Amino acid sequence: MSFFRFHYRRLFSVGVAAGIFFSGMNFGTAAENENGFSQREVNDQAVMSLVWMQTSAEYRSLCYQAYNTALERVAMAVAHHRAGDKPLAIVLDVDETVLDNTPIEACYVDTEGVFNTKDWKEWCVAGRAEAMPGAADFLQAVDKLGVDIFYVTNRTEKSGTIKNFRAVNFPLADADHLLLKKTSSYKKPRFEKIADQYDVIVYMGDNAEDCLPEAYDKPFAERNDIVDRHRAEFGTKFIVLPNPDYGNWESSLAKDYWNLSPAQKNEARKKVLKKWVPGKDK
Ligand SMILES: [Mg+2]
């Protein structure tokens, strides 16, 4: 099931059962509503994270913080770069790392619809994603310093993504710098290919796997252990952008998460909550 990580994540909750011709809407079947819990209610749980990402000063601040930190590392690497050294590069994810896809995510709120490959392809082909706050300025600054930029993404749509990059003034918007998913969402082989030829200054992303591919397809406790082991490298080699709306953090909550029913997803989400009940210490 790991093949469908990232943006194909929600397809599995309904898509496989429904076949490849589903419309993405009207999945309010009896199976979807077991225990009285519907897909619409699952979708509604994303409202606060989407509102936060689309409106809050805090989200923008964290984006600026990430790009400023990365740019400082890039400038430092350029200053220490010597003739004969490998050329410098940065490696970054695309979705919720430099492009904002929250509008396509928000379209399922108040519906029984499920994120699916048909809708996602249409969104990617349209190339309508806006740049995240500060992303274009950051990327242009990196480019001006003569550092290569490799966009390593699990998107599969090349022309729409390049069109989108150009629309929001991202530099190096070409096929040589865009490493799409071919057969697997596991990014390590693509990272290794770049690192063979370049000295990679920073890895950036909204998924732990964008920095540490070994976290791929692991349960959340293991993902946390992997990140803990690399704690000294965050803010230096690894720069992370916030994404409370979706990500492998969600699928790591339970085995075969994307195959779970809405009720089972709701249960998997709520059972990991730590609670302190008022009156407990009296
Ligand atoms: Mg991403």
Q: What residue ranges do the domains of the chain occupy?
A: 2-271
Query: Which tens digit of pLDDT belongs to each residue from 76-93?
Result: 999 999 999 999 999 999
pTM of the entire structure? Answer: 0.88
Is the pLDDT confidence value at 99 over 60?
yes
State phi, psi for 45 to the nearest 5 degrees: -65, -15
Distance from the alpha carbon of residue 157 to the mean position of ligand 1, in angstroms: 15
Distance from the alpha carbon of residue 84 to the mean position of ligand 1, in angstroms: 33
Distance from the alpha carbon of residue 63 to the mean position of ligand 1, in angstroms: 13
Mean pLDDT of the region 181-197: 97
Chain mean pLDDT for the chain: 90
Which pLDDT score, from 0 to 100, does residue 45 have?
A: 97
Rounded-to-10 torsion of CA 118, 122, 125, 130: -120
Nearest to 262 by CA among 24, 44, 6: 44
The CATH number of 2-271, from 3.40.50.1000, 3.20.20.70, 3.30.310.80, 3.40.50.300, is 3.40.50.1000
Tokens 């059962």 — which residue? 17
Query: Under a CB-based contact definition with an 8 Å cutoff, are residues 135 and 170 in contact?
Result: yes
Distance from the alpha carbon of residue 276 to the mean position of ligand 1, in angstroms: 33
Distance from the alpha carbon of residue 223 to the mean position of ligand 1, in angstroms: 16
Q: How many Cβ atoms are within 10 Å of 154's Cβ, its own excluded?
A: 23
State phi, psi for 67 to the nearest 5 degrees: -70, -40
Nearest to 132 by CA among 91, 164, 90: 164
Is the pLDDT confidence value at 6 over 80?
no
Give the relative orientation of helices 135-144 and 57-80 as an angle to the nearest 10 degrees: 10
Give the sign of the dihedral formed by CA 198, CA 200, CA 205, CA 210: positive
**Long-range contact pairs involving 55-59 (C-beta distance under 8 Å, separation at least 24):** 59/133, 59/242
Distance CA 25, CA 168 (A): 30
Distance CA 84, CA 58 (A): 42
Give the sign of the dihedral formed by CA 98, CA 103, CA 104, CA 109: positive
Distance from the alpha carbon of residue 246 to the mean position of ligand 1, in angstroms: 9
Distance from the alpha carbon of residue 77 to the mean position of ligand 1, in angstroms: 25
Q: 94 CB contacts (<8 Å, ≥6 apart)?
A: 151, 153, 155, 161
Query: Which tens digit of pLDDT belongs to each residue from 231-248?
Result: 999 999 999 999 999 999
Distance from the alpha carbon of residue 4 to the mean position of ligand 1, in angstroms: 14
Q: Would you place residue 36 in the very low, low, confident or very high pLDDT band (cuts 50, 70, 90)?
A: confident
Is the pLDDT confidence value at 226 over 90?
yes
Distance from the alpha carbon of residue 30 to the mean position of ligand 1, in angstroms: 33
Nearest to 53 by CA among 106, 123, 7: 106
Q: Comparing 19 with 168, which gets the higher pLDDT?
A: 168
Mean pLDDT of the region 112-130: 97
